Structure 1
Amino acid sequence: MPLGDIDTIAHETGFSGVVSVDRAGQIELANAYGLANRAYGVPNTLDTRFGIASGSKGFTALTVLSLVEQGALALSTTARSLLGADLPLIADDVTVEHLLTHTSGIGDYLDEEADGEITDYVVGAAHELTTTEAFLPLLDGHATKFRAGERFAYCNGGFVVLALLAERAGGVGYHDLVRERVLRPAGMARTDFLRSDELPADVAVGYLPLDGVDRSNVFHLPVLANGDGGIHTTAADLSAFWRAFFAGDIVDSVEEVVRPRCDVPEDSRRYGLGFWLHESTDTVMLVGSDAGASFTSTHDPRTGTTRTVLSNTSLGAWPIARALAT
């Protein structure tokens, strides 16, 4: 689709967010639409920071893999070896690799198939979820779904468990691990974990329709993002991320990260280690969808092209993302 048609789709759909197409460092498209804060009429700009929901699972994966390269973890490390008596329903043979590839079979605290629409889910005591350890009561008590390695089943809780394993192996809190091992080497200076109840002025508030009214997502997400997603970032930082990742500035094992481990035909994709992969090309994807947030950033390493759509509504990114993919 001609890039000029993006404006038409944005206006027809009421899109709120930012669209960027970056080809090897040359910006081909960069537009902002809608409002970052509806109460005060603050417009989105190209520098606005957006929550990217599950898009930051890739950052969790790279944090874990940097610990693997350092020798603090291995792909074959079992979760049980670091969990001790915590989360006893996680099977003894579940490994770091199983968790990274969504093949662990563990029960999920946020099961997207069973819990209905994302707008229906409300996090209990969201204000208390400021650390990885605080998630333990949420992660506990969920029965195993299938044997480890048997099949792919997307699992949010698995990535919080990965954050917990990273903390215990690395001796540093999850948020600082990501900052040190991913954000800093990637030059992502405007990306960070931000509390939803004290968002800075340059951050878009997430909105979702409830009872006929658009409300903020403050009660629908943990107050501070963790391993399964929710970091805030910009289109420019995401372009910087992809360049740094494929240059080997974050981890050395780039080819292993993007090697297909699972086919996911129901989504017309494949999966590597924490990253979605196109079903037939080399394109790598970060994708996120949650209450008041929708996001996709794809990178084609052959042409160096990054296509990013960030939105502060639950479904807003998808019409434009589909158009950019054609």
Structure 2
Amino acid sequence: MGDDAGLRQAADDAVAAVTADADEHVGLVARVVRGGPAAPPSSPDVLLDAAWGLADRRHGLGMTPRHRFATASGCKGFTALAVLSLVADGTLGLATTARSLLGADLPLISDDVTVEHLLSHRSGIGEYLDDDADVSDYLMPVPVHALVDPEDYLPILDGFPQAFAPGTGFAYCNGGFVVLSVLAQRAAGVPFHELVRTRVLEPAGMTSSGYPRSDALPGDAAVGYVRVDGQWRSNVHHLPVVGGGDGGAYTTTLDMEQFWDALLGGRIVPDDLVARLRRAPQGPGGPGEGYAYGLGLWLRDGGALVLQGEDSGVSFWSAHEPATGLTWTVAGTTADAAWPVVRALREALAG
């Protein structure tokens, strides 16, 4: 085992470009391994395990490879698997309608929207969050400290009409995954965060992952930053105080390695559901640009499985490539930091 010199140089060069364009204190982590899910039970070959910059600007704390970091939408995969675990035990079905559990709540959601529609971003429900807005804006229409439980989102999910009939198109929808978190805890009678912990994180051995409050982060969690009025500020006022169905969990590079291994090893949901989430639903429309979308994760050309997220003070990418056995995760403490590193590593790995 050991760092691959070419990968490290590519990552270092990309980080240098990030800090030149942004700030020398941007925090980044990256880990690349070969092996794991593609070739059990051999130990993975660690090609890169590195960190750069600061995890906490206020206290001048350096980032380490073991720091926890936010995932933004990357944890939609956790939500999807918690829901699919309920499908596996018969508590929910892919054909279960949202209305059957919502009752009179969110009346603008069509009665024929199903769990599968929501998981695949083919529900057509109105979106509560503008993904194209400037990340420095304060986007939550209610105080962020009020958003703790999925039920807390009902007032801000309401009032958005269907954009298209369920199953007739594709539109990435954060609100759909918040609705899934509401459905999951109502169906199971168990709080959403507990469902994710017991049905996804614990089976995967992800001991450093979860949904800490942003105003009470553990000491080994990196702080996200956003530039407001020309100054870097923490993102604590920009995002829900506790992550939910559409994003906000914290994890580590090692835990993401555990995640892919457990997912593809059938330790979170059965193999038939793993196969189902890796298959893009048929229908008009789609993400395009070399991507498809399964149930809770992105599918790249060549069969790679991807979780990714971007938000105020967060950039996150984690992927497993079954064809090569590569698993790699990159995360940054600004909305833009991770992407040059992702591109540089992809080019280096392809070469």
Normalised by the size of structure 2, how large is the TM-score?
0.90
Does 2:66 correspond to 1:66? Answer: no
1:12 equivalenced with 2:54 (yes/no): no
Deviation at 1:325, TM superposition (A): 1.6
- Which residue identity lines up with residue 43 of structure 1 in the other structure? G
Give the Cα–Cα distance (whole angstroms) in 2 for the partners of residues 119 and 273 of structure 1: 30
CA–CA separation in structure 1 for the residues paired with 2:290 and 2:243: 28
Cα-to-partner distance string for 1:99-131 (whole Å, 9 max, x where unaligned): 000010101111314xx2222243221001111
Q: 1:78 is paired with a residue of what secondary structure? A: coil
For the 8 Å contact 1:111–1:156, the answer to whether it is kept is no
**CA distance in structure 1 between the aligned counterparts of 2:286 and 2:166, rounded to whole angstroms:** 17
1:284 alignment partner AA: L
Question: Does the residue aligned with 2:320 lie in a helix, a strand or coil?
Answer: strand
1:261 aligns with 2:284: no
SS of equivalent residue, structure 2 residue 6: coil
Alignment partner of 1:2 is 2:24:
no
Whole-angstrom CA distance in 2 between matches of 1:178 and 1:264: 28
Please, which runs of 5 or more residues in structure 1 have no aligned partner?
none
Residue-by-residue CA offset, 1:240-279 (whole Å, 9 max, x unaligned): 100010000001121111112266354431000010000x
Q: Which amino acid aligns with 1:216?
A: S
Contact 1:52 1:229 in 2 (8 A): yes
Q: Is the 8 A contact 2:170 2:287 kept in 1?
A: no
Please give the alpha-carbon distance, in whole angstroms, between the structure 2 residues aligned to 1:81 and 1:100. Answer: 16
CA–CA distance in structure 1, aligned partners of residues 287 and 116 of structure 2: 21
1:288 is aligned with what amino acid? G
Look up the equivalent residue of 2:45 and give its one-letter code: Q
Q: CA deviation at 1:64?
A: 0.3
Name the TM-score, length of structure 1 as normaliser.
0.96
Is 1:238 matched up with 2:245?
no
Query: In the aligned structure 1, how far is the partner of 2:96 from the partner of 2:130?
Result: 25
**Paired residues of 1:296 and 1:321 also in contact (CA < 8 A):** yes
The amino acid that maps onto 2:30 is: V
Whole-angstrom CA distance in 1 between matches of 2:10 and 2:162: 47
Structure 1 match to 2:180? 162
Distance apart, 1:21 and its partner CA: 0.2
Structure 2: give runs of 5+ residues left out of the alignment: 20-25, 36-43
How many residues matched? 323
2:344 to 320, 323, 326: 323
State whether residues 10 and 345 of structure 2, in contact with CA within 8 Å, keep that contact through their aligned partners in structure 1.
no
Which letter does structure 2 place at the counterpart of 1:294?
S
Question: Is contact 2:129-2:139 (8 Å) kept?
Answer: no
Q: Aligned to 1:117, which of 129, 134, 142?
A: 134
Q: Secondary structure at the match of 2:48?
A: strand
Counterpart contact for 1:19–1:31, Cα < 8 Å: yes
Give the match for residue 123 of structure 2: 104
Distance of 1:106 and 1:8 partners within structure 2: 42
Report how far residue 172 of structure 1 moved.
0.2
SS at match of 1:57: helix
Aligned CA-pair RMSD: 1.3
- The amino acid that maps onto 1:117 is D
Q: Report the Cα distance in structure 2 between the residues aligned to 1:178 and 1:200, rounded to whole angstroms.
A: 19
| Structure 2 Cα separation of the partners of residues 145 and 259 of structure 1 | 24
Mapping of residues 26-65 of structure 1, within 5 Å: 26-65=45-84
CA distance in 2, matches of 1:91, 1:42: 49
- Hey, what does 1:276 align to over in structure 2? 298
> Could you tell me how far apart the structure 1 residues matched to 2:159 and 2:208 are?
37
The aligned amino acid for 2:340 is P
Matched to 2:10, the amino acid is D
Give the 3-state SS of the residue equivalent to 2:95 in structure 1: coil
Cα pair 1:80 1:94 within 8 Å, conserved? yes
Whether 1:183 and 2:190 are equivalent positions in the alignment is: no
How much identity, in percent, do the aligned residues show? 51
Shift of 1:164: 0.4
Q: C-alpha offsets along residues 188-227 of structure 1, whole Å, 9 cap, x if unaligned?
A: 0000101011111100110011100011111110000000
Aligned: 1:141 with 2:159: yes
SS in 2 for 1:218: helix
